[in-house]
Amino acid sequence: MSKFPSTPLPRRGWLLRAAMWLLSLAVFPVTTARAADDYVLGADSQRQPGVPEGTVTKKRWVSEKIFPGTERDFWVYVPQQYKGTEPAALLVLQDGGAYVDPQGQFRTTIVLDNLIHQGAIPVTIAVFINPGQIPATAEGQKPRANRSFEYDTLSDQYARFLLEELLPEVGRELKLTADPAHRVIGGISSGAICAFTAAWERPEAFGKVLSHVGSYTNIRGGHVYPSLIRKTERKPIRIFLQEGSNDLDNLHGSWPLANQEMAAAFKFAGYDYRFEYGDGGHNGKHGGALMPESLRWLWREHRK
């Protein structure tokens, strides 16, 4: 262990050596028991007795306007506390299938049930959206996976898809608030930069961002955000930014460095942000473990 000095200790120092040996015994199990990326879900991510369970409805959307020809699944979560009299707060998550899974890394609907029941966050409707796919029309053809195009492209196209197509569809039956402070958008990996781009393009529609191991790298030019944030008049966006030191480093860039640059840019430009930099990899374990805390923080004014 490099923590110990390499210079030989004096003969008289046997007591010190014995003490250090004992110390090493004490230290060693601690350092190995906490392996990198060893995040576990807390009580707010488990079903609790007496907490009302919201409903989740799976739906399908075929886009005709913004991403013409794409088909996708999406899920709508409605808490029992929603009565239809007042508009609900909104949480929009990309790669929805991963976030809505009650056995997955995030268990968002369970977290929402618990936090709404506790009064930690407002009554919130969540929309979980998968990326689109243009299906093959004949045997032997490949479908066109639209995830990278929709998520990694820097433009207002995905925000317009939400605001002009998908959310109006959800809003036909449910009352959603128009207050950007109660409209959170989030995602993981490319879904995270997608969420940030939607807020960046339309901060009046999405005032809060939840970013898990976000791809602020050069997949489709997203590495420009840190400099853009520094050189653009500050936008009214609150950001919870989660990243891990063991995240990807590949042809598109270094995820840990890119997220540190994002955090530094938010700090420089005076954004309301929180950076949680752990030791996880490119997955939802850390973000999932933090899910209750991140939603509390994004809605921190809610609890009186």
Partner 1 sequence: MPLRRLLIACLFATVPGLVAALHPGLARGQDMALSGVLIDNEGWQLVSQGHKFTEGPTADAAGNVYFSDIPESRIHRISPAGEVSLFASDTGKTNGLKVGPDGRLFGCRGGDRQIVAYRPDGQFEILARDVDCNDLALDDQGAIWFTDPPGGRVWHLPAGGDKKIVAEGLKPNGIGLWEGGGTLVVTDAQLPVLWTFRVAADGTLGSKERYYGPLQIPFGADRPGSDGLTLDRQGRLYVATFAGVQMFDPTGRLGGTIARPQPGPLSNVCLGGARFDHLYVTAGDKVFRRRVQATGRSLQKAP
Q: Does 143 participate in binding partner 1 (rule CB under 8 A)? A: yes
| 136 vs 178 by CB, closer to partner 1 | 136
User: Which residues, in sequence order, are bridge partners of residue 75?
Assistant: 58, 128
Kindly tell me the burial class for residue 60, based on how many C-beta atoms sit within 10 Å of its own C-beta (0-12, 13-18, 19 or more).
Answer: exposed
| 128 vs 196 by CB, closer to partner 1 | 128
**Binding flags for partner 1, 147-186, as an x/- string (CB under 8 A):** xxx--xx---------------------------------
Structure tokens, 206? 């999405």
Among 78, 91, 98, 192, binds partner 1 (CB under 8 A): 98
Task: Annotate 56-88 with DSSP letters as a single string.
Answer: EEEEEEE-SSSSTT-EEEEEEEE-TT--SSSPB
- Phi/psi class of residue 84: alpha, beta or left (left: φ > 0; alpha: ψ in -120 to 50)? left
Q: Point out which span in 10-18, 83-91, 158-166, 188-196 binds partner 1 (CB under 8 A).
A: 188-196
Q: Does 212 participate in binding partner 1 (rule CB under 8 A)? A: no
Q: Point out which span in 20-28, 114-122, 125-133, 193-201 binds partner 1 (CB under 8 A).
A: 125-133
Chain positions 50 to 89 lying near partner 1, rule: CB under 8 A, are: 67-70
User: Which residues, in sequence order, are bridge partners of residue 62?
Assistant: 71
Q: Does 37 participate in binding partner 1 (rule CB under 8 A)? A: yes
**What is d(CA 255, CA 277) in angstroms, rounded to the nearest whole number?**
11
Chain positions 241 to 280 lying near partner 1, rule: CB under 8 A, are: 246, 248, 250-252, 280
Structure tokens, 155? 């433009």
Structure tokens, 130? 């998968």
Eight-class DSSP state of 9: P
**What is d(CA 194, CA 185) in angstroms, rounded to the nearest whole number?**
9
Enumerate binding residues for partner 1 (CB under 8 A). Answer: 32-33, 35-38, 67-70, 95, 97-98, 105, 130-131, 133-134, 136-138, 140-149, 152-153, 188-189, 191, 219-221, 246, 248, 250-252, 280-283, 285
